[in-house]
Copies of this chain bind each other. A is one copy, B any other.
């Protein structure tokens, strides 16, 4: 087992990895940029080292600075989390060169999956189903037109080096093809320095379902069930669940077996996720493989009862997987809400700033993986993910109801969050029926807005305004010093009594 792991990340995922290290008796090392000195992941780690200015390119993406911290701390392994350097084969290579273990797949597997066309070639050889289309670079416009005609419109043009929707064009009919191809090529060139574009049959409002896989370094690979990730905004997931309401046991097994085939074809080890598009006929097609731990891994942990980060670390030490496929039992249902500092009603405008009050839910079936605390100043420089609220229950209905009550307990003051969005999603009949697709969230936001003021609520607010004012006055008039700026129940009581007496004198 490792002695010391450096976590090359921040926020909730760094906290998550630190917790796994502590469980395993491994010393955890945090790194932090200048604005993250007081961040939760730094507070929770065993050791911590500064790695530069706020801009991620100068700190969390700065490989030399991170390798300096590795040397200073004598860490013998690195966990990259997700995002930042987690899918950067250069970083994995730098780790290997420095003699520290990168907790993830080999740089070779990462590289292969990074190129969509190379991955597709290899996976087609392995018999993995793809959306019908070309795997070669597109030839002349004439021939592209012929291929598109064979596939049948609508078709999708995609950048080979792409991701995040860049260099993608949906083409509804033949007349649009020429200009779309040109646009996709130039966008791909600008975004990735590579104008290679390929063509696929377009699947309209597909479901986005992914399969978790885990492979050790001895050739054992298992799948751990799927996650339904169709609720997205701008290709970014907002709410995920496991299992998918769409899949039955048979389809789950077929999808799991394909995912394991993908991982084996890439000689993949450690945790990875195979993403699929699912069309209206429940046919599924390989989309891509994410060569890292996913944000939404907790829902798989809850339905399988496994600790994925602990397993990642064990695999990286060279241990064999402690179980086989037949030992994996899926029980219950889990849903994750990604709590962002952003306003869903204002085009997801980010809302960094100080968290003045934080009431966090707890109790049966509720897990909160948070990267923040009351008093923390959410910096503007990074992803706005504050925490993941994860619900678990015996079945999908109970999980929805548990999350609904947890949202009721959840309050983040001082900044705007998307918490109300989850209430609207969970209450939506389409979601409750399990019929969400990738267009669901845009439709929901177009239909309705967050609940606004009501006359009953306004009356409560009016009452509260008066009570706050009266108690403030009482507190100001009271000579009792209030430790730490907080009133004690008893003290408040007595200062009200004082206020009451003063009032009585005035009006008497």
Chain A positions within 8 Å of B, measured between CB atoms, are 15-16, 19-20, 22-25, 37-38, 44, 298, 301, 305-307, 309-310, 329, 331-332, 354, 356, 360, 362-370, 375-377, 393-394, 398, 401-402, 404-405, 408-409, 482-490
Could you tell me the distance between the alpha carbons of A207 and B23 in the complex, rounded to whole angstroms?
A: 28
Could you tell me the distance between the alpha carbons of A336 and B405 in the complex, rounded to whole angstroms?
A: 23
**Are B307 and A398 interface neighbours, CB within 8 A?**
yes
**Are A306 and B394 interface neighbours, CB within 8 A?**
yes
Chain B residues whose CB sits within 8 angstroms of the CB of A393 once the complex forms: 305, 307
CB distance from A442 to the nearest CB of B (A): 29
Could you jot down 22 A-B contacts, CB within 8 Å? A16-B363, A19-B364, A22-B405, A22-B408, A23-B398, A23-B402, A23-B404, A23-B405, A24-B401, A25-B401, A305-B332, A305-B394, A307-B365, A307-B398, A354-B490, A356-B483, A356-B486, A362-B362, A362-B367, A375-B487, A375-B489, A484-B485
Contact among B37, B307, B363 for A367, CB-based, below 8 A:
B363
**Are B488 and A354 interface neighbours, CB within 8 A?**
yes
**Are A484 and B363 interface neighbours, CB within 8 A?**
no
CB distance from A206 to the nearest CB of B (A): 31
CB distance from A400 to the nearest CB of B (A): 9
Chain B residues whose CB sits within 8 angstroms of the CB of A298 once the complex forms: 364
Which residue from chain B places its CB closest to the CB of A483 in the assembled complex? Answer: B356
Contact among B398, B409, B490 for A44, CB-based, below 8 A:
B409
Could you tell me the distance between the alpha carbons of A354 and B409 in the complex, rounded to whole angstroms?
A: 22
| 7 closest residue pairs by CB, A with B | A485-B485, A22-B405, A23-B401, A377-B489, A38-B489, A305-B332, A362-B368
Name the residue in A398, A489, A490 with the highest tally of chain B Cβ atoms < 10 Å from its Cβ.
Answer: A489
Which residue from chain B places its CB closest to the CB of A393 in the assembled complex? Answer: B307
Name the residue in A368, A394, A398 with the highest tally of chain B Cβ atoms < 10 Å from its Cβ.
Answer: A394
**Are A19 and B483 interface neighbours, CB within 8 A?**
no
Could you tell me the distance between the alpha carbons of A259 and B338 in the complex, rounded to whole angstroms?
A: 43
CB distance from A311 to the nearest CB of B (A): 10
> Given known contacts A24-B401, A307-B394, A329-B331, is B19 in contact with A363 (CB within 8 Å)?
yes
CB distance from A403 to the nearest CB of B (A): 9
Could you tell me the distance between the alpha carbons of A255 and B366 in the complex, rounded to whole angstroms?
A: 31
CB distance from A370 to the nearest CB of B (A): 7
Could you tell me the distance between the alpha carbons of A235 and B257 in the complex, rounded to whole angstroms?
A: 53
Chain B residues whose CB sits within 8 angstroms of the CB of A23 once the complex forms: 398, 401-402, 404-405
CB distance from A204 to the nearest CB of B (A): 36
Contact among B15, B24, B488 for A363, CB-based, below 8 A:
B15
Could you tell me the distance between the alpha carbons of A16 and B405 in the complex, rounded to whole angstroms?
A: 12
Contact among B20, B25, B331, B398 for A331, CB-based, below 8 A:
B331
Could you tell me the distance between the alpha carbons of A482 and B482 in the complex, rounded to whole angstroms?
A: 15
